[in-house]
Structure formats: structure tokens, C-alpha cells
Amino acid sequence: MSTDLNQKIYVAGHRGMVGSSIVRNLQAQGFSNIVTRTHAELDLTNQAAVQHFFETERPHQVYLAAAKVGGIHPNNTYPAEFIYDNLMVQNNVIHQAFLAEVKKLLFLGTSCIYPKLAPQPMSEDALLTGKLEPTNEPYAIAKIAGIKMCESYNRQYGASHGIDYRSVMPTNLYGPGDNYHPENSHVIPAIIRRFHEAKIKKLPEVLIWGTGTPRREFLYVDDMAAASVFVMGLDSAVYEKYISPMQSHINVGYGSDVTIAELAKAVGEAVDYQGKISFDSTKPDGAPRKWMDSSRLNRLGWSAKTALQQGLALAYSDFLKTQ
Ligand SMILES: NC(=O)c1ccc[n+]([C@@H]2O[C@H](COP(=O)([O-])OP(=O)(O)OC[C@H]3O[C@@H](n4cnc5c(N)ncnc54)[C@H](OP(=O)(O)O)[C@@H]3O)[C@@H](O)[C@H]2O)c1
């Protein structure tokens, strides 16, 4: 099957970590007609503006990587914004894409959609089987609605309008374009910043919150972008063999997890911090393990390529550019 490299592709959220990586991936493959808008140019929560954008641009494909994203602190502090913005962005983009006859759309979700106590590794069929983690429930509810929106549009309009809207659920991501904010960032950028500052200030010790024993999975963002482009490009006949109409989302993980202590050691090596790494076990650990079952995607023919040590070195050189 030949790919039309001139087809118009809208990447929503192209200045974000994932969106920018999707743009790099598409450009590297020779796609030459990529449409983007900054948040300032197009507020995706504004229905009329999104409608006008789609009526004017009429893209062939959409990658929906725009979202309000953050760690525990912002999720806890701004729950109203997390549910409102995410629902509005995805409702507007998915519905207006449909009205503008966009045939293919990829929605980016998150592993937070799975219940707090989901069996590990978390497989796609764990969705809606239990209570969510309360701290990010509003964000997760919006993302679940996004999956169900794609599925519902496929079910109602797939045959009549030839649409095929798919969803991918990334594990924790890291890499170029990450948010290194001291309070609002995810675990890897936060630890990179801590080790870097300790190295500069020649501090003898870095204290990491918790016992260091929880296990987490991390995926390098360029692998996530590659997986996104891969899933978007899957032939319908192949894709439909692995999904069902009401359970169509696909997990994207690295395939294995590490303890926070192992992660901290690897970040220390990437940053070349020579001091001691200690753990503050009076601070909460969170869930003992969060690990995605990515076997559906593996069976479809994709697996992650970037090992943690290699990815962390690339992430650290990106962090240095922000200093
Ligand atoms: N990062 C992770 O570890 C991770 C893990 C799992 C899933 N994901 C998912 O991957 C997707 C992308 O995440 P990311 O890490 O790339 O996030 P990000 O770096 O924060 O990028 C999100 C982008 O969306 C834009 N955006 C947000 N609200 C908008 C609005 N109302 N109108 C227009 N643009 C808007 C942001 O622009 P401004 O910055 O100007 O607001 C930003 O450029 C999200 O769906 C997220 O849920 C991420």
C-alpha cells in the first residue's frame, strides 16, 4: 500500500512533548503537508474557532496530542480545569473533524484511565472495571470519554462515513520537550532537575521522596511518536483483528518497568552526579506498581526501541538546553 506523503495532517498540540515528536517523526518520513496551530492561534476549547479551523483547513488526518497535562500537584490543584479543558478540547476536535469529513484521527490518552487497583500489567480490558486514582480522576474521566467518543463515532458513522478514529494510551513519557517545572513536572524531569542542581551546587546527597521500591514504566517520547504514527497507519483489516468496537484503545508501554531507586541511579549516571542517593521513607510511595500490558501493540508489530539509559542521556541533553 503506498502512502500519500502530501495528505494534509493536523497535529493538535504540536508544541507539546508528544505533538512535537509526532511532527518530527512525520517530517522524517517525508510527510510535507503538516498543519499546526499554537494555543494562542487556536484555543481548542473554543467550539466556534475549532469549527472554523476544520472548515477552512479540511485535513485528511488528525493527531490529537493537545491536552491539559500535569503531575499530581496540578491535577490536585486544578481539577476543574483538568476535566473541563480536556473534555472541551477533545469534544471540539473529534466532532469538528467528523463534520469536516476527516477519515482518520488518533486520540492520545493515558495509563491513568485504568483503575487504581487494576491487575498488573494493566491490559486494555481493565478499563472501567474499578475506581480510579482520586488525584487524577477528573483528567482520567475526560480521557475515558475521549476513547468512548472515538468508539461511538466509529460505531455510528464508521460504515456510513468511512471514518476510523483510534486511541493510544501511553505509559509515563519522558524526553525532549518535557516540562522541567520544579513543582508541576512528572517524575523523570523532576529527578533530572534535582540531580543537575545537586551536581552544580556540589551537594553530597540527593533525597528522593518515598522508599524507592515502587515500580514504574517509562517510555522515551520519540518511541511514543513512532507508535502513534504506526497505529494511525495500520491497515484497517489488520487493526480490526486486534480490537473490538467497544474496546478499541491500545496501550503503548516500554514493556518492562524499574523501581524508583533504579530510575534514580540511572538518572544520576546520565547527569553524572557523583553524590549519594537517599530515600525519604516518611514520604508517600503511591501505588506499588504501574505497568502497562503492551502485548496488543506488540502483536500488531510494534515495540519500543530506546533503552532507559539511552533515553535519559538524550533527555538530559535536552534539559541542558533549557538552562
Ligand atoms: N507526558 C506524559 O508523560 C504523558 C503520558 C501519558 C499520556 N500523555 C498524553 O499525551 C498527550 C500529549 O501530552 P504532552 O506530554 O505532549 O503534553 P504537553 O507537553 O503539555 O503538550 C500539550 C500541548 O497541548 C496544548 N494545549 C493544551 N490545551 C490547549 C488548548 N485549549 N488549545 C490549544 N492547545 C492546547 C499545549 O499548549 P500550551 O502549552 O500553550 O497550553 C501543549 O502544546 C496528552 O493527551 C497526554 O494526556 C502524556
pLDDT per residue as tens digits for the range 230-244: 999 999 999 999 999
Atom 7 of ligand 1, nearest CA residue: 110
pLDDT digits (tens, 9 = 90+) for 185-200: 789 999 999 999 999 9
pLDDT in tens, 273-314: 999 999 999 988 888 999 999 999 999 999 999 999 999 999
Instruction: Read off the pLDDT band of 70 (50, 70, 90).
Output: confident
Alpha-carbon distance 181 to 164, whole Å? 37
Beta bridge partners of 278: 207
Task: Please give the model's pTM, rounded to 2 decimal places.
Answer: 0.96
* Cβ neighbours for 177, distance < 8 A, ≥ 6 positions apart: 16, 17, 20, 21, 221, 318
Span from the CA of 162 to the centroid of ligand 1 (angstroms) = 28
Between residues 100 and 76, the one the model is more confident about: 100
* Distance in angstroms (rounded) separating the CA atoms of residues 12 and 50: 11
Kindly give the number of the ligand 1 atom that is closest to the alpha carbon of 170.
6
Chain-centroid distance of CA 52 in Å reads 27
261-274 pLDDT, tens digit per residue, is: 999 999 999 999 99
Task: Give the model's pLDDT for residue 186.
Answer: 85
Angstrom distance (rounded) from CA 209 to CA 190: 11
Q: Which atom of ligand 1 is nearest to the CA of 44?
A: 32
Atom 24 in ligand 1: which residue has the minimum CA distance?
Answer: 66
- In angstroms, what is the span from residue 203 Cα to ligand 1's centroid? 34
Distance of CA 193 to the CA centre of its chain: 21
Closest atom, ligand 1, to C-alpha of 70:
20
Q: Taking Cα atoms as reference points, which of 105, 98, 146, 101 lies closest to residue 232?
A: 105
Pocket test for ligand 1, best of 14, 18, 53 (most atoms within 8 A of CB): 18
72, three cell numbers? 499530581
Instruction: Give residues (CB < 6 A) around ligand 1.
Output: 13, 15-19, 39, 43-45, 65-69, 85, 89, 108, 110, 170, 172-173, 186
Q: Indicate the top mutation candidate among 10, 69, 75, 136 to test ligand 1's pocket, ranked by most ligand atoms within 8 A of CB.
A: 69
- What does 97-146 look like in DSSP terms, one character per residue? HHHTT--EEEEE--GGGS-TTPPSSBPGGGTTSSPPPGGGHHHHHHHHHH
Q: Identify the band that residue 1 occupies on the pLDDT scale cut at 50, 70 and 90.
A: low
**Would the pLDDT of 183 be above 80?**
no
Rounded distance, CA 14 to CA 254, Å?
Answer: 23
Give the residue numbers annotated as catalytic, written as ranges: 139
Please state the atom number of ligand 1 nearest to the C-alpha of residue 143: 47
Ligand 1 atom 37 nearest Cα: 39
CA of 243 to the centre of ligand 1 (A): 26
Residues 63-74 have a mean pLDDT of 91
The DSSP symbol for 126 reads G
Q: What confidence tens digit (pLDDT) does each residue in 134-173 have?
A: 999 999 999 999 999 999 999 999 999 999 999 999 999 9
CA 263, CA 17: separation in Å to the nearest integer?
20
Among residues 211, 186, 179, 235, the alpha carbon closest in space to that of 2 is found at 235
| Range list of H helices, the chain | 17-28, 47-57, 72-77, 79-99, 137-161, 187-200, 221-233, 236-242, 260-271, 295-300, 308-321
18: CA distance to ligand 1 center in Å?
7
Identify the CA nearest to 33 among candidates 64, 1, 11, 53. 11
The closest-lying atom of ligand 1 relative to the alpha carbon of residue 174 is: 3
Q: pLDDT at residue 3 above 90?
A: no
